[in-house]
Structure 1
Amino acid sequence: MADSLDLINRDPNNINNHLQCCFEDVLAEPEGTHSIDCVWKLSYSCFNMWKSCCYKLSTILCGICIAAEWGCDFAAASFYHIWCFTPMFKMLDINCGCMKKMYTQCVACCIEPCCIACGQLFHHFKK
């Protein structure tokens, strides 16, 4: 975990690049279809102001609770992996290794001699 929080670059791993959305990405007037300049400027200002205001209000009302919930979810995932899944996989590795050894011994003792005998029988056939 980082010792200091970067308040400038809040997405250092670029995981939310798909959310970059500016006024020009949403509203555009093609050549020959322009509104009055003051309407276009006020639309630009309103878009950015409301986008910022609504986002900040949402984070004030819900952000801390949602972050707490995600923290609990990731803590639970870590707990299950550390205390349940990893030991279970280790147990499967041990038990499957034992079963593999037993299966290999059974094949070597029971099936391999028959295969060798059949191979010796057919070995004597020549063109």
Structure 2
Amino acid sequence: MMSDEYLVECNIDDDDDDEDEDKDDDVKEMHPSPPPPPQFSSTPSLTWGEIRDPCGINKHLKIEFSDVLAEPVSTHSYDRVWVYSGIGFESTRLWGYRCLTALCAVPLSCLCGCLFALLACMHIWCVMPCIQVCHSCLPCVRSLWMSAVNIFIAPFCTSVARCCSGVYVVFSKE
């Protein structure tokens, strides 16, 4: 199934018949071609590589000035102060993020890559083999466990239940 961004609208004009009578039959009006699909377009547009949060993991970080600071109707600062505060907030947020990512992004991405590689290695070579061994040995262990329960624990619990079955507890108010 194709997404809507790959669909191209083609307009068909029936009014061209009137204009064709006036023109020579060999010469027809050239309509501009439809735009190319985004992957073949030379104009810059958001492509898959430019969408940096395709799964929406960080939707909660879309913070604007009005999400953080707001003045009630009863008290207002000067208009210029409010405008410059907004500009200062947005600029500091943007450039602070850029500077921090310039310093921290590459080392942290390498650290996260090593961590996920370690987790994948541990999962593939340690965890899954242990789980598979347990699954293959579990029927034997299950039969041994059921035998132990039926030989030792079940008779003990049955005797305790028979002993306690004759005990009656009566509550009375004195």
TM-score of the aligned structures, taking structure 2 as reference length: 0.55
Which whole-Å CA distance do the structure 1 matches of 2:144 and 2:82 have between them? Answer: 79
Of stretches 31-40 and 92-101 in structure 1, the one that deviates more from structure 2 is 92-101
Which whole-Å CA distance do the structure 2 matches of 1:46 and 1:81 have between them? Answer: 47
Aligned with 1:74 (options 116, 130, 135): 116
Shift of 1:15: 1.2
Aligned with 2:129 (options 61, 79, 87): 87
Higher relative contact order (CA 8 A, sep 6+): 1
1:57-72 aligned within 5 A: 57-72=99-114
* Residue of structure 2 in register with 1:6 after alignment: 49
Which whole-Å CA distance do the structure 2 matches of 1:103 and 1:29 have between them? Answer: 69
Query: What is the DSSP-based 3-state SS (H/G/I as helix, E as strand, rest coil) of the residue aligned with 1:57?
Result: helix
Which whole-Å CA distance do the structure 1 matches of 2:70 and 2:103 have between them? Answer: 32
Q: Does residue 1:42 correspond to 2:92, yes or no?
A: no
What whole-Å deviation, never above 9, does each CA across 1:12-59 have from its counterpart, x for those lacking one? 111111222110000000102111111111001000000001100000
Query: What is the DSSP-based 3-state SS (H/G/I as helix, E as strand, rest coil) of the residue aligned with 2:105?
Result: helix
Distance 1:102 1:57, change over 3 A: same
* Residue of structure 1 in register with 2:14 after alignment: none
Structure with bigger helix share is 1
Q: Which amino acid aligns with 2:88?
A: C
Bigger Rg over Cα: 2
Distance 1:64 1:5, change over 3 A: farther
Distance 1:5 1:72, change over 3 A: farther
Query: What is the DSSP-based 3-state SS (H/G/I as helix, E as strand, rest coil) of the residue aligned with 1:76?
Result: helix
What whole-Å deviation, never above 9, does each CA across 1:61-104 have from its counterpart, x for those lacking one? 01110000000000000000000000000011111122224556
Q: Among all aligned residue pairs of Structure 1 and Structure 2, give the percentage whose two residues are the same amino acid.
A: 35
Aligned residues: 106
TM-score of the aligned structures, taking structure 1 as reference length: 0.74
Q: Please, which runs of 5 or more residues in structure 1 have no aligned partner? A: 111-127
Q: Which runs of 4+ in 1 moved over 6 A?
A: none
